[in-house]
Structure 1
Amino acid sequence: MPVTRTKQSDSLRAAQMYYLQDLTMDAIARELRTSRSTVSRLLASARESGLVQIQIRSPRGSAPELERVIRSSFKVDVHVVPVLDTLNEAEVLERVCVQAAKLIGPLVESNAIIGVAWGSTLSTVSRHLTRKITHGSTIVQLNGAGNTQTTGITYASEIMRRFGNAYEAKVEQFPVPAFFDHAETKTLMWAERSVRRILDLQARMTMAIFGVGSIDADIPSHVYSGGYLDESDLDSLAASAVVGDVATVFFRADGSEDGIVVNQRSSGPDLEMLRTVRRRVCVVSGASKINGLRGALAAGLATDLILDEATARTLVDPDAVNGPDVMSAPRRGYSA
């Protein structure tokens, strides 16, 4: 019985001949009995679908040295994305997220439970994910997205859907508020079986993907612009010397979280539980997030860090940018 050739099998065959056997496109076209332009399309398809992962290791530039210093100082696997200083914050975010999406793909395995936070950074990452076939994997939302103005379901579910589609994984949403009005309400909700099912999935995560929120971020966060935090919340965070958050759970510059009242109402994951996840991928763009990033690293929340070159320079050289005093910092909103 003849074997049926598919576009995917032809893409794989063409990629192997081109990248592993060093054949020219003309030679591949002759062997596959097709045209050179078709071979070009097959190679492009192989890259877009994730069959081919391209890595560039440059001996020049500061990125490799920055990676070495960060890896040694903070005990994380790190990827520094080279970007020009002339780019604005939005352009840097786009560049970082494009590369992050390509780096995350090879880390995703079958039968995985992957926790994904929502926010400006993860929303951008989700738009650039490359497809990878997995089996038995689940994407679980790390924190609720509802607030007093919207359910948040459309915004968060779109991010989860893109991750699910990219890795052919089942998607489990978390349809609860980002912050409860009362800690007692959260306690009661956490006892509900439908909520416990999601919490149990989170507790069994093999991988978590998130950004870092920072009180000094230049790009407005969905948490801030969506009405998640009111004036009393912001006053409370300032009084607790908060520098940032991961999945709407807040921490100080030294990574501590004890006594931060807002966390008692947050639907985000317990940070102690998050630290038990085998692989924790943190994506950060913009040196204005440096205080939040330092706090997250002090808390030991990341095993893998993807960030832009300017932020990496600031991270290894505290004198590069003088971070504002936390208590007197202007409220520019959280961004994650």
Structure 2
Amino acid sequence: MKDGRKKKPNSSSREDFLKKLYLIAYEYYVNGKTQQEIAEQLGTHRVLISKYLKQARELGLVEVRLKDPLFEDTTYKKLFLKHFNLKDIIVVSFPFYKEEKDYHVGASLVGRILDGMLTNGMIVGIGWGSTLEIISKHLHPTKKLSETVFLPLMGGTNQLPHYFRANDFVRNFAESYNAKPKYIFAPFYIENPSQKELLLSSGDLRETIEFWKKLDLAIVGIGCYIQKSPLFQNKIFDEKYLRSLLENNVVGDVLTYFFNENGEVVNLAVYKNLVNIPLEDFLKIPTRVGIAGGLQKVQSIVGALRGGLVNVLITDDKTAEMILRYLGT
């Protein structure tokens, strides 16, 4: 009696099949032949070659690896190090800000760079802003960091746009790396400074904020457009502070510490009302990564670098070139 079950291919036939897939993949990826040329060579149809190439990828015979042409280019690094006291500058080939249509490609490249910086056991502070929101959604984790802690560098508020919700970015990082999140459930701005001290002394919040003195790495954006800042448009900061910033020729901010083009931070009375990492603690963090790009941020980036607010810059090639032209290099 015949057995109706299909016979399993023996090891020899499977080996022959894998060899065939390898041959087709080699001709296509290494020798650069078209699918039609390979089909004619093997006396079969192009559609079947396309199917075989897909199977070769699925079985792991083919690994596609793309290399950013600027990732290891030292030209920008040498030029920037002449002007700024940086630990590193990393330039990607695509923009990562929403004004550009291919921003997701650049954001993924930045995610890959950050992945190389992160190690297990680190304590990592996360800033806010539209750039960090995008990056936190395009992470490229290659490892689990179960002993790493991610936490915000400031409180939050529902009065500001969604890209000011640093807790959300912390969650994205922590979930991507199977790490430990620490959240700050406190307002960014507290009208009465004495209430701020009382709030910061509470148990859970005090425990999280104590991590600010132990940070290994900070990942922040660099702000610009002071007059258009939601902090002023939403009347979180009084207009008198805006006048003070304009009088001091402020060009940008990092974590709401406003600075001029020389990197000098403008002292504002409002700082005592803010729930964010103290500037002196921030500047003690060994690696402070600033991620920023775009024409409108050239002066902001220059100021942040001159003031040493960040010591690692991640930007795109167009912005890097504009900064160098601005510096007369």
Q: How high is the TM-score relative to the length of structure 1?
A: 0.71
Which of 14, 22, 28 aligns to 1:26? It is 22
Instruction: Give 2:239's aligned residue.
Output: 231
Structure number with larger C-alpha Rg: 2
Deviation at 1:27, TM superposition (A): 7.4
Instruction: Give 1:156's aligned residue.
Output: 166
Which of 173, 176, 184 aligns to 2:183? It is 173
1:105 partner SS = helix
1:213 partner SS = coil
1:135 aligns with 2:146: yes
1:175 partner SS = coil
Q: Give, in whole Å, the separation in 2 of the partners of 1:118 and 1:45.
A: 39
Q: Give, in whole Å, the separation in 2 of the partners of 1:41 and 1:125.
A: 28
Q: CA separation of 1:294/1:71 partners in 2, compared to 1, >3 Å: closer, same or farther? A: same
Q: Give, in whole Å, the separation in 2 of the partners of 1:276 and 1:44.
A: 47
Q: Give, in whole Å, the separation in 2 of the partners of 1:59 and 1:194.
A: 41
Counterpart contact for 1:102–1:130, Cα < 8 Å: yes
1:37 aligns with 2:54: yes
Deviation by residue 1:93-128 (Cα, 9 ceiling, x = unmatched): 544422211100011110111100121000000111
Identity of aligned residues (%): 25
Q: Give, in whole Å, the separation in 2 of the partners of 1:128 and 1:44.
A: 27
Q: Which one-letter code corresponds to 1:79 in the other structure?
A: I
Q: Give unmatched runs, 5+ long, in structure 2.
A: 1-18, 26-51
Deviation by residue 1:267-311 (Cα, 9 ceiling, x = unmatched): 222222112212221100212112221221122122221112222
Q: Which one-letter code corresponds to 1:215 in the other structure?
A: Y
Which of 246, 253, 272 aligns to 2:261? It is 253
1:65 aligns with 2:75: yes
1:314 aligns with 2:322: yes
Q: Give unmatched runs, 5+ long, in structure 1.
A: 1-22, 30-34, 321-336
Q: Give, in whole Å, the separation in 2 of the partners of 1:144 and 1:45.
A: 47
Q: Give, in whole Å, the separation in 2 of the partners of 1:292 and 1:56.
A: 26
Q: CA separation of 1:292/1:283 partners in 2, compared to 1, >3 Å: closer, same or farther? A: same
2:101 partner SS = helix
Which of 142, 145, 158 aligns to 2:156? It is 145
Instruction: Give 2:198's aligned residue.
Output: 188
Q: CA separation of 1:315/1:89 partners in 2, compared to 1, >3 Å: closer, same or farther? A: same
Q: Give, in whole Å, the separation in 1 of the partners of 2:272 and 2:109.
A: 35
Q: More displaced, 224-233 or 180-189?
A: 224-233
Q: Which one-letter code corresponds to 2:289 in the other structure?
A: V
Q: Give, in whole Å, the separation in 2 of the partners of 1:152 and 1:182.
A: 25
Q: More displaced, 204-213 or 261-270?
A: 261-270
Instruction: Give 1:334's aligned residue.
Output: none
Instruction: Give 1:123's aligned residue.
Output: 133
Deviation at 1:227, TM superposition (A): 5.6
Q: How high is the TM-score relative to the length of structure 2?
A: 0.72
Instruction: Give 2:288's aligned residue.
Output: 280
Instruction: Give 1:301's aligned residue.
Output: 309
Deviation at 1:175, TM superposition (A): 1.5
1:215 aligns with 2:215: no
Counterpart contact for 1:127–1:162, Cα < 8 Å: yes
Counterpart contact for 1:248–1:266, Cα < 8 Å: no
Counterpart contact for 1:93–1:121, Cα < 8 Å: no
Counterpart contact for 2:251–2:303, Cα < 8 Å: yes
Q: Give, in whole Å, the separation in 1 of the partners of 2:193 and 2:258.
A: 15
Counterpart contact for 2:71–2:91, Cα < 8 Å: no
Q: Which one-letter code corresponds to 1:26 in the other structure?
A: Y
Deviation at 1:129, TM superposition (A): 0.2
